[in-house]
């Protein structure tokens, strides 16, 4: 927000705040946690991109790094997905965030 002082000079009244949580706690001071802060869920292994730094970029090659992992490219089983959600609901608190990733 821009304001002017008695001399007509522009000055800022807004505060610059960090984009991260300033109430962060030192993990070593609070473990074990009753509820995880973040939960990552990978509902599918499919990906249409081929980022050069990622294993997915090699999945079309017979001897590519992806073939060495033994991972199948498939969607998560729906029952497993439901079970994960049920178990998340059993935590005493809400997780801060749930990230769905491929």
- Copy the structure tokens of residue 14: 């807004």
The answer to whether 27 contacts ligand SF4 (rule: CB under 6 A) is: no
55/98 with CB nearer ligand SF4: 55
The answer to whether 58 contacts ligand SF4 (rule: CB under 6 A) is: no
Q: Helix and strand tally (H, E) in the chain?
A: 3, 4
Q: Decide: 42 and 76 in contact? Cβ < 8 Å.
A: yes
Q: Decide: 57 and 50 in contact? Cβ < 8 Å.
A: yes
CA dihedral 24, 25, 26, 29 (to 10 degrees): -170
> In the complex, what is the shortest distance from the CB of residue 64 to ligand SF4, in angstroms, rounded to a whole number?
12
Q: According to CB under 6 A, which one of 7, 16, 28, 51 is a site residue for ligand SF4?
A: 51
Query: With CB under 6 A, what is the number of residues at the site for ligand SF4?
Result: 8
10/51 with CB nearer ligand SF4: 51
Task: Give residues in contact with ligand SF4 (CB under 6 A).
Answer: 47, 49-51, 54, 56-57, 102
């Amino acid at each position: 927000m821009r304001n002017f002082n008695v001399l007509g000079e522009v000055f800022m009244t807004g505060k610059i705040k960090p984009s991260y949580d300033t109430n962060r706690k030192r993990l070593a001071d609070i473990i074990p946690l009753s509820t995880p802060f973040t939960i990552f869920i990978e509902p599918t292994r499919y990906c249409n991109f081929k980022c050069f730094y990622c294993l997915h970029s090699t999945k079309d090659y017979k001897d590519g790094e992806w073939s060495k992992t033994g991972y199948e490219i498939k969607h998560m089983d729906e029952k497993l997905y439901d079970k994960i959600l049920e178990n998340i609901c059993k935590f005493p608190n809400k997780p801060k965030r749930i990230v769905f990733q491929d």
